[in-house]
Structure 1
Amino acid sequence: MGKEEDFDIVHLATNGQEAIEFCTKEQPDVILMDIQMPIMDGIESTKKIKDQWPRVSIMMLTTFQDERNIRLALKAGAEGYLLKSASVENMAQQIRAIKAGSTVLDADVLKTIVQPDRKALEGLTERETDIVELVAQGLSNKEIAEQLFLSDGTVRNTLSIVLDKLEIRDRTQLAIYYLQRQNG
């Protein structure tokens, strides 16, 4: 990054805890954060930094391309996820985009999310799978409750549990997630 005149490297932290401690003194515009670090990993430190300093943008810069780490990092508040194999020019461009308020995902990272592991639904119970299937068919919570002879509250609670298990934000993403696995 030495040839990027609009960047100043203000600190190099060796672990997530050190990154948090630096933020208590000075809040940088952008943090490049690795996932695997000693003392505190990048996902945990990202969450703590974003909780305290939401205006600090965080780009995960890592070798990990698995769906679980990508989703955890984004859920923790990272605005970007870039692989260390990216060129310096691409990296600089993505950092500028994050600083400008965009969310950035490496092309290979995006493929990992769009075409995820087909076994991911295996962790659900039969009842949870039934509800996910009905969500994918476009049924409302009330319609699902009627069809499965459940209360609206039970459907809402079960959907909340499923969204947490699969680390998915909302029912639309859940439906897409389910249909991709059935049709792919």
Structure 2
Amino acid sequence: MKILIVDDDCLVCKSLKLLLSREEDMEVISTAGHGAEAITACRVEVPDVVLMDIQMPVMDGIQATRQIKSEWPKVRVMMLTTFKDEKNIRLAILAGAEGYLIKSTEVSSMAQQLRTLMSGSSVLDADVLKQLMQPTQKKNLEQLTPREKDIAGLVAQGLSNREIAEHLYISEGTVRNTLSIILEKLQLRDRTQLAIYYLG
């Protein structure tokens, strides 16, 4: 697994590089001090995973994530930050980040979370999940039909397409097609973003 570490704190970059390089299946190919440097580094050698801080000079982690996911959609982005406020979490995920960890995470746990991320799963820190589950003002979902709202709500509850189909007495193909329509209407990338949008 090739990793790019992006943080404006040189000590953080050096420490993470040292510790993650001890993992047999991980190689830190580069470090960057801000988002623009991260994009340049990706052009030199495309990483498998980017560990991305949020608040940085020149270009922040949200902007960098959006551009990286646009140019290299297969690159997985794990936000690694001290911020666990709802705004930053939602912005990061809507920008395309598949993971969100807090910097206090143990390195051994972080390594395992990176493996989970590479397997195709989304990774959210427990405190981040709690923050997202706090009741907030509902987004405007009026553009969705009643059936689309039902499906969006069940996605937000964590149900699979098959479970949604069984729950609503419709085919799994209908669920998939409707989900595609919902994502297009709301301009979201995947069901993780939909769940967070709906819960907001």
Question: Shared fold (TM-score greater than 0.5)?
Answer: yes
The answer for unaligned runs of 5 or more in structure 1 is 142-162, 178-184
Query: Out of 64, 83, 96, which is 1:77 matched to?
Result: 96
Tell me: CA distance 1:173–1:15, structure 2 relative to 1, closer, same or farther (3 Å).
closer
2:121 aligns with 102
1:5 aligns with 24
Distance 1:171 1:60 in 2: 18
Q: Does 1:35 align with 2:54?
A: yes
Secondary structure class of the residue paired with 1:43: helix
Q: Does 1:58 align with 2:77?
A: yes
Match of 2:114, as an amino acid? Answer: I
Higher percent of residues as strand: 2
Cα deviation for residue 3 of structure 1 reads 2.6
Cα deviation for residue 34 of structure 1 reads 0.2
Tell me: CA distance 1:54–1:172, structure 2 relative to 1, closer, same or farther (3 Å).
closer
| Number of corresponding residues | 143
For residues 39-96 of structure 1, the C-alpha deviation after alignment (integer angstroms, 9 at most, x for no partner) is 0000000000000000111000000001110011001110100000111111001011
- Percent same amino acid at aligned positions? 51
1:22 aligns with 41
Q: Does 1:47 align with 2:66?
A: yes
Tell me: CA distance 1:26–1:115, structure 2 relative to 1, closer, same or farther (3 Å).
same
Match of 1:100, as an amino acid? Answer: S
Tell me: CA distance 1:26–1:173, structure 2 relative to 1, closer, same or farther (3 Å).
closer
Tell me: CA distance 1:96–1:170, structure 2 relative to 1, closer, same or farther (3 Å).
closer
- Computing the radius of gyration from Cα coordinates, the structure with the larger value is 1
Secondary structure class of the residue paired with 2:23: coil
Structure 1 residue ranges, 4+ long, deviating more than 2 angstroms after superposition: 138-141, 168-174
Match of 1:93, as an amino acid? Answer: Q
Distance 2:197 2:54 in 1: 25
For residues 150-169 of structure 1, the C-alpha deviation after alignment (integer angstroms, 9 at most, x for no partner) is xxxxxxxxxxxxx68xxx95
Q: TM-score, normalised by structure 2?
A: 0.62
Cα deviation for residue 139 of structure 1 reads 4.6
